[in-house]
Chains A and B, each alone.
Chain A
Amino acid sequence: MVRCARCVPSLVSLSRGSPARPFDDQAGTAWPEAPYPVLVVDRHGGLVRVNAAARLLLPDAARGDRLHERVPAWLSQAHRRLGDGTPGTFAGATAGRIDDRFFEAHPTPAGDGDIVWWLVDDTDRRLAETALSDARTRTDVLSEASSALLSTLNVPRCMEMAAAMAAEHLAEAAVLVAPAQGKRYPVTSARRGGPVTQSTQKVNVAEVPGLSEALQGFPPVPARWINPADIPGWVVPENFAGPVGSVIVTPLPGHGVPAGALILLRSGTEHVFSEGEEVFARLFAARAGAALSAARLYTEQAAITATLMHELLPPALRSVHGVEYAGGYRASRDHERVGGDFYDVHPGTGPAEETLVVLGDVAGKGLDAAVLTGKIRNTLHALLPLAEDHGRVLELLNGALLSSHHTRFATLVLASVRRRDHQVHLRLTSAGHLPPLIVRADGTVEEAATRGTLVGALPDVTAHTVRTVLAPGETCLLYTDGITEARGGPLGDELFGERRLRRALAECVGMPAEAVVERVQMLATQWIGTGRHDDMALVAFNARRNGSPTGVDGYGDSGRDE
């Protein structure tokens, strides 16, 4: 090291115009044994000296040869530029390939206008840098793929994004084939820079080498085994640039079963897929497969939930036999759609028959309570023929609940409703529930005088049924305690209470049933603000205005039950 350090400054100082002789002596001893290839070239491009390391690199080079006949153009041209130029141009090194190695060439002046070219082999650093940059790019692609694919739980969208990203980063075109639905395969095709197309096609997957294996979850067939000429037309996207040159078929691993397969295509004019690219395609496919499986699982679960939930959701209400019904529901937990409150309207078989309205509250909340509301609603539906006698219905329901494995109890209100001319005749029975409120035409709010015991707790139940009549513009409201026990208000911790409910109802004379429900629901919701609350349910009904007494309902009826 010490010797080198001394020798280099002397070369540098010479380049600034010192006498040439001492250099020749020093250089003459230093460079022939230098571990780097060294060429001494005169100003006309003739080779003056070649050291041992350079001879290994350029075996044909000898003294007197023309430089441009022995070395690649990048080096001979750099030399010519130096010959033309000013001494200042010595500062920079130049770089390029010689055979399969990569060199940096550093020029220093020797005497007589000769130039010494020191060639430094840079191949390994270049390779390492390229590998690092490729690895970074791939990591970025995989990270982008993961975050993009995991952002959606929609299967077609997930396939669309996977195909588009594969075409963008891995190949010129990508085709994602999902497992068959019957005899047809969902096929998503993307071309780099082009649109993504999705269709369900009746295709023969056996035509594509390795595809049916990939769809069955077998390990991928190496790309070099696939003859691009065997790829059928349906795999190649429209406007694909030229004939297919190389192909990768890789499975998309799923949750134990394959989530599909990915076909990557490159045209004949591009280089064929390397082994490294095959490995990378597998890494990408693993992520796409995981995302696609998650999306598929979510979709299946959502479909199951929707089917099971359908029976538990509160029904859409509408006009029945000249009476308008409207219902409102809010589960205690905002992310749930069902809870322990429930209501139903069972239309009478004709205008002369009573319609049975039920509203109730099962102890507890959430899905467990909702399942019991389903049982109660079904039982009450079966008991409809006995609805003439509310007491008998409650007795039988009580028996059914006591004999079931559920330990919960419930409170409910039964209302039998029949329109006669312009009036609505009611029979109301409360089984341990808040009594219905009736908004009279003069704005007074009455509580129906019905009392009874709750069901599902004691062997015997008692209930007192009351009869009343709604004149035009008068409304009957059934509600659960989630409304009156809503806690909040401007001061944060007060109950909404029956007083505020009555005050709100007093303003509702002559209003359509759904407007009454909306008004009460809105006040209670605003009262709660962002606070916690119980399940809330309410049903309002009144005589339909201008309704035909024959019970033939007019405009808008069916529009309500969307």
Chain B
Amino acid sequence: MDHSTEPATLVSRLWRAAIDADEYTAAGIVHTALAEGVDEEALLLELIAPVQEMAGAEWAADRISVAQEHAATAINERIVASLAHRRGGGPRSAPRGRVTVCCVDGEWHAFPARLLAEVLTLRGWRVDYLGAQTPTPHMIAHLHLTNPDAVLLSGSIPTHLPAAHAAITACQAIGVPVLAGGRAFGPGGRWARRLGADRWAADAREAAAALDAGVPRPAPSTARQAVDDLPHLADQEYTLVLQSRTRLVKQTLIELEDRFPAVRDYDEEQRERTAEDLAHIVGFLATALYVDDPDLFTAFLVWTADILEARHVPARSLVAALDVLADELHDFPRARRLTRLGVTALGERSPSSVPVPGVPA
């Protein structure tokens, strides 16, 4: 067995153990590295985090199943838990301060938040980790009871941005500043700023640095509503598109059947998959309308095209769906423009943008 503590070797060994759901081997690798003096924060961020990234990338490339992705996450979670257990729970006698780490309401990807919580704990913060599936009202109730110095809000999927916005304004309204992080907030955190987050951090280390620098409390009297941050919402396009989401999906499915005989021959499961894809397209379209940024929509379409082609589904179907949607959305100028930009982006897409296997992103 290869016992090298070379980072790349460790990553690939841990990766193999994780997708095999081989907890004992995985835990052995990590705890051996720890015993050999590898820094715990480095283990979390330079070994476990890359393995988690690989799980997402390998699923996108259709090289592992959804089940394997879940299994790898479960193994990673257990290893992180075992590290925390080894350290011994409970806050230090004199913590630097108290923070809350939470996922955006509806977000399922809790692992980045978990890693962040562990890194901040290692650096001496008292951390309340609320994880995923915490409704925003529960988080606010928690903040009232604990009065933390900041909330660290993690999001991976951009369609949760409206929920993130609600959480950000709710935290700030009670005088707790919000540091946003995760892929949902866009390249360079541009949507975090648009939603009024007090800070944005690219990764756990940046988040820790931002906390060290201090995040001032927002003045409670500056409470505001969504439309104060995003005046374009007044055109109602976001609201109406989201409200008619299922009608749009049904209508588009019927139109696609009319225009493409192949769709007519789909079995029930294929039909459902197509409907799910359409629902995602409408969801991302609505979110792009919410933040008023076409890049959110086009990036999703390009990513979806890559996912489909990895599964040997031609990405042409996306362009056809966008054409039908554009007709359905004739009363919505912003939405129509998004569909046009989407078609253009798909046309300019380079065919091999799925991450290369084995190379952590």
A residues in contact (CB < 8 Å) with B: 144, 147-148, 151-154, 156-157, 161, 295, 298-299, 302, 330, 334-335, 337, 489-493, 507-512, 514-516, 518-519, 522, 525, 545-546, 554-556, 558-560, 562
Please measure, in the bound complex, the distance between the C-alpha atom of A153 and the C-alpha atom of B67, giving whole angstroms: 43
25 A/B residue pairs, CB under 8 Å, sorted by A: A148-B175, A148-B220, A148-B221, A151-B223, A152-B144, A153-B144, A337-B138, A491-B246, A491-B249, A507-B66, A507-B67, A510-B71, A512-B75, A515-B70, A545-B23, A545-B24, A546-B24, A555-B24, A556-B27, A556-B79, A556-B82, A556-B85, A560-B78, A560-B81, A562-B81
Interface residue B108 (Cβ < 8 Å from any Cβ of A): yes
In the complex, what residues of A have CB within 8 A of residue B146's CB?
154
Beta-carbon contact of A151 and B67 below 8 Å: no
Beta-carbon contact of B276 and A511 below 8 Å: no
- Nearest B residue to A508 via CB reads B67
Please measure, in the bound complex, the distance between the C-alpha atom of A519 and the C-alpha atom of B21, giving whole angstroms: 15
Interface residue B208 (Cβ < 8 Å from any Cβ of A): no
Q: How far is the CB of A304 from chain B (nearest CB, A)?
A: 13
Q: How far is the CB of B266 from chain A (nearest CB, A)?
A: 13
Interface residue B133 (Cβ < 8 Å from any Cβ of A): yes
B residues in contact (CB < 8 Å) with A: 21-24, 27, 31, 65-67, 70-71, 73-75, 77-79, 81-82, 84-85, 89, 106, 108, 133, 135, 137-138, 141, 143-147, 173-175, 219-221, 223, 245-246, 249-250, 253, 272, 275-276, 278-279
Beta-carbon contact of A147 and B221 below 8 Å: yes
Beta-carbon contact of B74 and A152 below 8 Å: no
Beta-carbon contact of B144 and A554 below 8 Å: no
Please measure, in the bound complex, the distance between the C-alpha atom of A515 and the C-alpha atom of B246, giving whole angstroms: 30
In the complex, what residues of B have CB within 8 A of residue A508's CB?
67
Report the 6 A-B pairs with minimum CB-CB distance, sorted nearest first.
A559-B81, A492-B246, A490-B275, A151-B220, A490-B279, A559-B85
Q: How far is the CB of A353 from chain B (nearest CB, A)?
A: 25
- Nearest B residue to A492 via CB reads B246
In the complex, what residues of A have CB within 8 A of residue B106's CB?
525
Apart from A154-B143, A154-B144, A490-B278, list 18 A-B contacts with CB within 8 A. A152-B147, A152-B175, A153-B144, A157-B147, A295-B144, A302-B141, A302-B144, A492-B249, A507-B67, A512-B23, A515-B67, A515-B70, A516-B70, A555-B31, A555-B78, A559-B82, A560-B78, A562-B84
Contact among A147, A545, A558 for B22, CB-based, below 8 A = A545
Beta-carbon contact of B145 and A558 below 8 Å: no
Beta-carbon contact of A512 and B71 below 8 Å: yes
Known contacts A152-B175, A299-B145; A518/B70 CB under 8 A: yes
In the complex, what residues of B have CB within 8 A of residue A156's CB?
147
- Nearest A residue to B143 via CB reads A154
Q: How far is the CB of B24 from chain A (nearest CB, A)?
A: 4
Instruction: Give the one of B27, B220, B245, B250 with max A CB within 10 A.
Output: B220
Please measure, in the bound complex, the distance between the C-alpha atom of A560 and the C-alpha atom of B78, giving whole angstroms: 7
Known contacts A334-B137, A335-B138, A558-B85; A489/B272 CB under 8 A: yes
- Nearest B residue to A157 via CB reads B147
Q: How far is the CB of A557 from chain B (nearest CB, A)?
A: 8
Q: How far is the CB of B225 from chain A (nearest CB, A)?
A: 15
Please measure, in the bound complex, the distance between the C-alpha atom of A511 and the C-alpha atom of B275, giving whole angstroms: 28
Contact among B21, B27, B85, B245 for A511, CB-based, below 8 A = B21
Please measure, in the bound complex, the distance between the C-alpha atom of A492 and the C-alpha atom of B248, giving whole angstroms: 11
Known contacts A334-B135, A511-B71; A147/B220 CB under 8 A: yes
- Nearest B residue to A334 via CB reads B135
In the complex, what residues of B have CB within 8 A of residue A507's CB?
65-67
In the complex, what residues of A have CB within 8 A of residue B79's CB?
555-556
**Chain B interface mostly helix, strand, loop or mixed?**
helix
Please measure, in the bound complex, the distance between the C-alpha atom of A123 and the C-alpha atom of B272, giving whole angstroms: 82
Please measure, in the bound complex, the distance between the C-alpha atom of A491 and the C-alpha atom of B67, giving whole angstroms: 25
Beta-carbon contact of B23 and A546 below 8 Å: yes
- Nearest B residue to A503 via CB reads B269
In the complex, what residues of B have CB within 8 A of residue A148's CB?
175, 219-221
- Nearest B residue to A144 via CB reads B221
In the complex, what residues of A have CB within 8 A of residue B85's CB?
556, 558-559
In the complex, what residues of A have CB within 8 A of residue B135's CB?
334-335
Q: How far is the CB of A296 from chain B (nearest CB, A)?
A: 12
Beta-carbon contact of A555 and B82 below 8 Å: yes
Please measure, in the bound complex, the distance between the C-alpha atom of A144 and the C-alpha atom of B222, giving whole angstroms: 10
Known contacts A151-B173, A510-B71; A490/B78 CB under 8 A: no
In the complex, what residues of A have CB within 8 A of residue B276's CB?
489-490
Contact among B141, B173, B275 for A489, CB-based, below 8 A = B275
Contact among A298, A515, A519, A562 for B89, CB-based, below 8 A = A562
Please measure, in the bound complex, the distance between the C-alpha atom of A161 and the C-alpha atom of B147, giving whole angstroms: 12
Instruction: Give the one of A298, A493, A509, A518 with max B CB within 10 A.
Output: A518
- Nearest B residue to A505 via CB reads B67
In the complex, what residues of A have CB within 8 A of residue B279's CB?
490
- Nearest A residue to B163 via CB reads A530
Q: How far is the CB of B220 from chain A (nearest CB, A)?
A: 4
Beta-carbon contact of A554 and B27 below 8 Å: yes
- Nearest B residue to A547 via CB reads B24
Please measure, in the bound complex, the distance between the C-alpha atom of A510 and the C-alpha atom of B65, giving whole angstroms: 12
In the complex, what residues of B have CB within 8 A of residue A522's CB?
108
Contact among A151, A295, A335, A337 for B175, CB-based, below 8 A = A151
In the complex, what residues of A have CB within 8 A of residue B175's CB?
148, 151-152, 157, 161
In the complex, what residues of A have CB within 8 A of residue B144's CB?
152-154, 295, 298-299, 302
- Nearest B residue to A306 via CB reads B145
Known contacts A157-B175, A556-B81; A519/B24 CB under 8 A: no
Q: How far is the CB of A169 from chain B (nearest CB, A)?
A: 13
In the complex, what residues of B have CB within 8 A of residue A298's CB?
144
Known contacts A556-B81, A559-B81; A511/B70 CB under 8 A: yes
Q: How far is the CB of A341 from chain B (nearest CB, A)?
A: 15
Instruction: Give the one of B78, B219, B278 with max A CB within 10 A.
Output: B78
Instruction: Give the one of A147, A330, A335, A515 with max B CB within 10 A.
Output: A515
